[in-house]
Structures are given as structure tokens and as C-alpha cells.
Amino acid sequence: MDARLANTWRLTLNEKNFIKTALLSEIRIDGRKPFEFRNISINFGREDGSAEVQLGQTRVMGIVTAKFVQPYRDRPNEGTLTIYPEFSPMADPSFEAGRSGESAFELGQIIDRGLRESRAVDTESLCIVAGKLVWAIRIDILILDNGGNLVDAANIAALAALMTFRTPECSLGGEDGQEVIIHPPEMRDPLPLILHHLPIAITFGFFIDENVVVIDPIHNEEAVMAGRMIATVNANGDICAIQKAGEGVSQRVIMQCLQLAITKAADITKQIKAAVEAYNSERALQKIKRETTCVGNSVKGDQNQTLDNKGISELVGKYMERLKLISVESYASKILMLRKSNH
């Protein structure tokens, strides 16, 4: 069952008319202004590549995993990126368990188009052995609570999970130099994915023949809107993708929405980067604490050493710089190996 259709059935005729009449006066039932986003909260799991996003009453979780696969023949030097949305009846009674409906397919397609066509993820850096072995990145999108505008929340969850995901560092060895060696995280730090930019999905709802436009519609507004447009843009002002459904909209209105989408995307990008930076700092701090604990346990008597807050902060900074350096060096070495293999 389509989620929007289910919301329509839950609303009475009086409720629909009330929402439309209020929108004509630029009043929304949740108290927001027409172009005001709901509060965004981003939390991360204990493992890398897991993020939960709350957009008002909408909650979505993104989980990133990876495995080795053979590359496609037409792209032997590139890894793959796949998105799997999952709609649970716990999030909305209209969702059917174990069955991906039209809404799930559309959500996955919109996020996939924004990431893939804009080449936000550097798929060439996912190559291990050209033509033989690459990383296949999988993004699972879990809908935890449907409060409306699932696309924007799921898109943020996918980006936050991608930014915190790390793959084990790999190298080639063996007698023929083609044996893949996977280094455990205890020996070498895992490498973060390379993202060139963050494509942010911004949803607009149109009401009463495009005379009324709102951003980030809730589920009750989705039930009565006449049309919808999802603009995927980045903070640089690049338009990555556009998805339009429902009644026609004039070019003037579309251009106004795109300008607003670019502004909102810049704000959301800052929020995502700030949340990821806080997560990386906490992750580095926990790693240093574990290492200093191991060192402290190996020292006897008066040789015990402790770190104050300033010392820990300095170590965290050095660790973050080292992680960035390792990532750049590994990427450069992979590109060099790819060029040699092509020749």
C-alpha cells in the first residue's frame, strides 16, 4: 500500500480542508513557517558506518557494509554502490512486512540517483585489483518511524553513515604479487571512504495549484498536497538530480525552489559535517584511551604514566592528522597500481 494513500485514508474531509485553509494563511499544523525545516538530530552507533537521523517525528537509520566482489566488465577499475530501503510495519501500519512497495523503490531510486549520477562517492578508490576485485558498498536504509518526508531523512542518514564508514586497508603480496592481504584494524587504521561532495535531498510540497509551497512536508501534509518536487543539490550550488511528481509547476516556481534548496543544503551539510567531526574525535579519543590503558598496564610501579586532558587532546589531533595522511597515501598508491595494471 502506498504510504501517501494510507495517510489519505486516515484523514477526514474536515481535516484535509483545515490543512489547506491554514496553508493559505501560511500556517502549518505543526507551527512551522512554509520554508522552515524541522529539527535534525544525527546520532551514530558504536560501530563505524551506522547513523540514526531524526527529522521531527521521522526516524531513519542508515547502515553501511562492504564486501569483495568482481567488478563489472565495463568498469573494471570501479567499486559498486547499492541502496536497500526497508519499510517496517513498526514505522507505519501501511507498510507491509517483507515486501518492498512503490514508496520503498522510489526512495532508494532517488537517493541512488543523487549519489551515483553526481559521482559523490569515489568508486575508483574502491578498487583492489583492477578487473578482479573491488569493494561493493551496501547502504541499508531502515525506516523506524514515518512522520513524513522520508526521502530527506533517509538521504541524510545514508550520507552520515557513508562518512563514518571505514574499510580495512588492503595490500598486494604473495609470490606473484597478486595475493590480497587484509590488514586488521589493530595493525593498520581502516580507511574512510572518499566523498567528493554531499548531495542533499530537499523536498517541496505543492498545494492548491502551486499557489502554496512548503518545504519538508509532514505526513498529514503529504496526504493533501497536489504535487511534490525533490531537488538533490550540494553546498556548491550544483544540481545533482530532480524528481517531480503530481501536477505541473511553472518554471518560475521551480527556480525559486532550487535557490531555496541550495541554501538549505548548505545548512544541512554543515550539520552533517559537525556531527561526523564530533564522532571522529570521540572515536579517536576512545582509541587513544585503550592504547594508553594497555601501555599503563605494562608499566610497573613508579613507571606508570598518565595523560591529562591537554595531553589527550594533543594526541587526538595528531591521530586525526595521521588518519587523513594514511587515507591520502593509500589512495595515491591504489591509483598508481591501477595505472600499472592497465599498462
> What is the mean pLDDT for each group of 10 consecutive residues in the chain (343 residues)?
48 87 89 94 92 95 94 92 88 70 86 92 92 94 92 96 93 78 85 95 88 91 90 94 85 92 96 94 79 55 43 50 48 46 48
Predicted confidence at residue 328, as pLDDT, reads 43
Predicted confidence at residue 8, as pLDDT, reads 46
Site of grid cell 502551486:
210
| CATH topology for the 13-283 domain | Ribosomal Protein S5; domain 2 (3.30.230)
Give me the numbers of helices (H) and strands (E) for the chain, helices first please.
7, 14
What are residue 51's phi and psi, to 5 degrees? -140, 140
Predicted confidence at residue 304, as pLDDT, reads 41
Predicted confidence at residue 250, as pLDDT, reads 85
What would the grid cell of residue 14 be? 474536515
Predicted confidence at residue 291, as pLDDT, reads 66
pTM recorded for the entire structure: 0.81
Q: State whether the Cα torsion 65-70-74-76 is positive or negative.
A: positive
Ranges assigned E (strand) in 118-169: 127-129, 133-145, 166-167
Instruction: Annotate 20-62 with DSSP letters as a single string.
Output: HHHHHTT--TTS--TT-PPPEEEEE-SSTTEEEEEETTEEEEE
Distances (CA, A) of 269 to 18, 78, 128, 220: 34, 26, 30, 27
Q: Is 50 exposed, middle or buried (0-12, 13-18, 19+ CB in 10 A)?
A: buried
